[in-house]
């Protein structure tokens, strides 16, 4: 993985953690987020 990919994942994880305090993330939101991450990683390979 490139530095950008690692940064992207860390940013998304941090975003989920911070928004999770205000908005309880639903299973659907997590699934969508994971799908986006995987899609980006596959597209960048």
> What pLDDT, in 10s, does the model give residues 4-43?
888 888 887 787 777 665 555 566 677 778 888 888 888 8
Query: What pLDDT, on the 0 to 100 scale, is given for residue 24?
Result: 53
Give the number of domains in the chain: 1
Ramachandran quadrant class, 11 (left: phi over 0; alpha: psi -120 to 50; beta: rest)? alpha
Query: What pLDDT, on the 0 to 100 scale, is given for residue 23?
Result: 54
Helix 3-22 and helix 27-44, axial crossing angle in degrees, nearest 10:
170
Identify the DSSP state of 39: H
Query: What pLDDT, on the 0 to 100 scale, is given for residue 20?
Result: 60
Give the ranges where 1-45 is alpha helix by DSSP (H).
3-22, 27-44
* Count of other CB atoms within 10 angstroms of residue 29: 14
User: What residue numbers bound the domain in which 36 lies?
Assistant: 3-44
pTM: 0.41
Identify the DSSP state of 23: S
Query: What pLDDT, on the 0 to 100 scale, is given for residue 27?
Result: 66
């Amino acid at each position: 993985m490139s530095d950008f990919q690692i940064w992207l994942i860390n940013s998304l994880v941090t975003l989920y953690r911070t928004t999770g305090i205000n908005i309880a993330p639903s299973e659907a939101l997590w699934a969508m987020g994971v799908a986006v991450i995987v899609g980006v990683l596959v597209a960048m390979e």
